Amino acid sequence: MDNVPSDTSKSDLPVSTEMVRCLMEVGYVATGRGLQSQATNIFNGIVAARPSSEFPLIGLAVCKLNFGYVVEAAKILAEQALKLNPSSGTAKCFLAVAIKALGKEAEARDLMRQVCNNTTEPAAKAMAESFLSGKDVSP
């Protein structure tokens, strides 16, 4: 995974970057297999290990989205992930997915246009372009 936080300076937990990467993957697999509480616990643990990174919060939000907790996912992205990194194209993309799921298509498209025009993250730009071209980018 390219989006694995490596900064351990603000973490109380001595967890290596490789372990975080592995845990992120396990969290996404658990989400995909329908293991809601386990996936949530994994992502919450990664948030504790990397409190200064938005990526564990994005993982937690994707987990929430997959289990239908759209409002909660949007709050995690808007109030936590984007506060840590206001320019995170990845967080904005998943926020747009949540916003669309809440029935606000125009607002979601506007956010994805912002990502296309302003992000330096290739994966986020590709996701935004896919979304704007009408492809399903649901987590």
- pLDDT, tens only, 33-80: 999 999 999 999 999 999 999 999 999 999 999 999 999 999 999 999
Q: Around Cβ 49, how many Cβ atoms within 10 Å?
A: 20
Q: What is the CATH number of the domain that holds 34?
A: 1.25.40.10
DSSP H helical segments within 50-136, as ranges?
55-66, 70-75, 82-84, 89-101, 105-118, 122-132
Q: Is residue 46 one of the residues assigned to a domain?
A: yes
Q: Domain range for residue 110? A: 17-132
Q: At 14, is the pLDDT very low, low, confident or very high (cuts 50, 70, 90)? A: confident
Q: Is residue 37 one of the residues assigned to a domain?
A: yes
Q: Is residue 6 one of the residues assigned to a domain?
A: no
Domains: count for the chain: 1
Which tokens is 84 given? 């840590």
Q: Is residue 5 one of the residues assigned to a domain?
A: no
- C-alpha dist (Å) from residue 113 to 28, 82, 83, 93, 101: 26, 17, 20, 10, 17
Q: Around Cβ 19, how many Cβ atoms within 10 Å?
A: 14
Q: Is residue 115 one of the residues assigned to a domain?
A: yes
Answer yes or no: is pLDDT of 4 > 60. no
Q: Is residue 21 one of the residues assigned to a domain?
A: yes
Q: Is residue 118 one of the residues assigned to a domain?
A: yes
Q: Is residue 11 one of the residues assigned to a domain?
A: no
The pLDDT value recorded for residue 13 is 62
Answer yes or no: is pLDDT of 2 > 80. no
- C-alpha dist (Å) from residue 116 to 30, 112, 131, 138: 30, 6, 10, 17
